[in-house]
Amino acid sequence: MAMRYRTAGFKGYNVKFSPFNDRLLAAATSANFGLVGNGRLSVLQMCAGPEGLQPRQSYDTQDALFDLTWNEVHENQVATGSGDGSIKLWDITLQQHPVARWKEHSREVMSVEWNYTQKTTFLSSAWDGSVKLWNPVQPKSLRTFAEHTGCVYTAAWSPRQADQFATCGEDRAVKLWSVNEPNGRSVATFGGHLDQVLSLDWNKYSPELFATSSVDRTIKIWDIRNPRGQVSMFGPFEFSVRRVKFSPFSPHYLATAGYDMSASIWDVRTGAVTHVHDAHSEFVVGVDWSFFHPGQMATCSWDEQVHVFNVPIPQN
């Protein structure tokens, strides 16, 4: 049975568990499909018994919110990416205003992600085709990476290499980068998707592998040691997959959120679906795994709901 929270009037774009507190998660949401109007960051707490998911804090913004990331060194801070090109840093112990704000992107910020290993920097990517590296104590970005020719939907850090990240975007390209590369150019490009690449996530146990999903209705697994072709492919499906997320407890399981209004768990060894969460009534756009409880997951959807539920995941 899923715990549910209704983000009334705001459609979910992504949801992430806290890396510090096993009872906290947060959701980035937007009014009117993110086209016009406000956004809201909702910080939720999981309560025992019938109370379920309860609001702990919420922050309204003047523009849509498309993504969020928890600060890896400050348990009470969350950064959000906004439709007006800004990034805001919030302290969930404070009531109203962000503690920091940056605006260098000229269009919607589609992804923000904190560095898991180096922990003092985070990435943003946007519709303006750029990826930026930030340190929250600096007033300006540290570097800009601008090889994509359209929207960069996702920029994701390697789980092992502090200087390495990958990106995917509207131009069908998947790129590997190093922040230490002196000329700011990507170190590899992976080609193979036939349409926009919407999402990317790294395998936490096999750090040379990552997964992507595309408007071409496929999921691909890639190996950074061989940019010329994917390791495996799933699909084509009836609908596109909006987001992919590897389990933090097993190298073999991948969660997906999609336009079929469901979230699914895949065994990447066999390509078999091991679980389907089909309790949403609209597109499922965000999905995440708990860092504390194997098989605990969260989803958010355009049906204005956040769900938290458990799935059986063998730890092998």
Q: Whose CA is closest to 217, among 181, 258, 180, 245?
A: 258
* 210/193 Cα distance (integer angstroms): 14
**Burial class, 104, CB count within 10 angstroms (exposed 0-12 / middle 13-18 / buried 19+):** middle
Contacts of the segment 290-294: beta carbons below 8 A, 24+ positions apart: 290/17, 290/22, 291/17, 291/19, 291/22, 291/248, 292/17, 292/22, 293/22, 294/247, 294/249, 294/250
In the prediction, which pLDDT does 316 show? 60
Paired tokens of 56: 């702990």
CATH 3.30.1300.10 fits 1-138, yes or no: no
User: Measuring CA to CA, how many Å separate 212 from each of 20, 67, 156, 158, 185?
Assistant: 27, 17, 11, 14, 21
Residue 34 DSSP one-character state: G
* 4/216 Cα distance (integer angstroms): 31
DSSP symbols for 61-118: ESS-EEEEEE-SS-TTEEEEEETTSEEEEEETTSSSS-SEEEE--SS-EEEEEE-TTT
Cβ-contact 103, 87 below 8 angstroms: yes
Residue 187 DSSP one-character state: S
User: Measuring CA to CA, how many Å separate 169 from each of 22, 173, 239, 269?
Assistant: 32, 6, 18, 26
DSSP symbols for 262-311: -EEEEETTTTEEEEEE---SS-EEEEEE-SSSTTEEEEEETTSEEEEEE-
In the prediction, which pLDDT does 315 show? 61
In the prediction, which pLDDT does 151 show? 98
In the prediction, which pLDDT does 232 show? 92
Q: Whose CA is closest to 67, among 285, 304, 313?
A: 285
What is the block-wise mean pLDDT of the chain (316 residues), using blocks of 10 residues? Answer: 93 98 98 86 91 93 97 98 97 93 98 96 98 98 97 97 97 96 93 95 96 98 90 94 97 97 96 96 98 97 97 74
